[in-house]
Every structure is written in structure tokens, then in C-alpha cells.
Amino acid sequence: GESVGLHLPTLSVQEGDNSIINCAYSNSASDYFIWYKQESGKGPQFIIDIRSNMDKRQGQRVTVLLNKTVKHLSLQIAATQPGDSAVYFCAENKGNTPLVFGKGTRLSVIA
């Protein structure tokens, strides 16, 4: 069963460095993946998404990599800034089923 009060995995990076946030997903049939950023006191905001027919997709300062063989998703943030400090969630789904969210990773940027 689930535990209460689990600590979020935390990643601390120096301002200006690149960040890599990882996510392992569970359903090998999932064909859509998405990353959200959640700042303190706000709802999650869309960052980038990728479909299973792609391995990589780039946005502005962000890149998502998908490795279907090992069911792994990563979010790379280039030149991390203080404003990138937040909790990052990955999510997956197949077809029209609801998104299934990971538990999140807290990114802390050290100025």
C-alpha cells in the first residue's frame, strides 16, 4: 500500500547548469507522455509532451526523451534558472483513458 508523508525526490542544481529529471512509467501500452511543472501554491502547468512514435522532442530550453525499451522518460532543462524551481510531474496514458501521474520530483535551483 501507499505510505503517508513520503518525501519527494529532490534534485538540486546550480543556476546555469542543465537539469535532468527522470521518470519511470509503468504501462508499456502508453502512447502519450507529458511533463507538468507545479510552482508553490499553483496548479500544474503544461511544459511539453511526446507521443510514443517519437524518441525526442524539444521545446524552448526543454527537451523530453523517451526510451520505450526501458519505459523511461526524462525532462532536460537547459541553463536552469531560479524560476525553474518547482515540482515536476510526468504523466502517461493510452488512447482516451485518463492521465496517470507520477509522484513528482522537486527541483531546487541554487543561485
Partner 1 sequence: DVKVTQSSRYLVKRTGEKVFLECVQDMDHENMFWYRQDPGLGLRLIYFSYDVKMKEKGDIPEGYSVSREKKERFSLILESASTNQTSMYLCASSPLGTRGQFFGPGTRLTVL
Positions that interact with partner 1 (CB under 8 A): 2-8, 32, 34, 36, 41-46, 49, 89, 93, 96, 98-99, 101-104
Q: How far is the CB of 15 from partner 1 (least distance, A)?
A: 26
Q: How far is the CB of 23 from partner 1 (least distance, A)?
A: 11
- Output the DSSP codes for 46-57: EEEEEETT-SEE
Residue with cell 492521465: 99
Q: Which is nearer to partner 1, 4 or 70 (CB)?
A: 4
Q: Which is nearer to partner 1, 63 or 101 (CB)?
A: 101
Q: Which residues pair with 73 in a beta bridge?
A: 23, 66
Distance CA 23, CA 32 (A): 14
Q: How far is the CB of 10 from partner 1 (least distance, A)?
A: 12
Closest listed residue to residue 105, CA positions, set 26, 54, 2, 35: 35
Q: Which is nearer to partner 1, 2 or 69 (CB)?
A: 2
The secondary structure element, H or E, covering residue 83 is none
Q: Which is nearer to partner 1, 5 or 83 (CB)?
A: 5
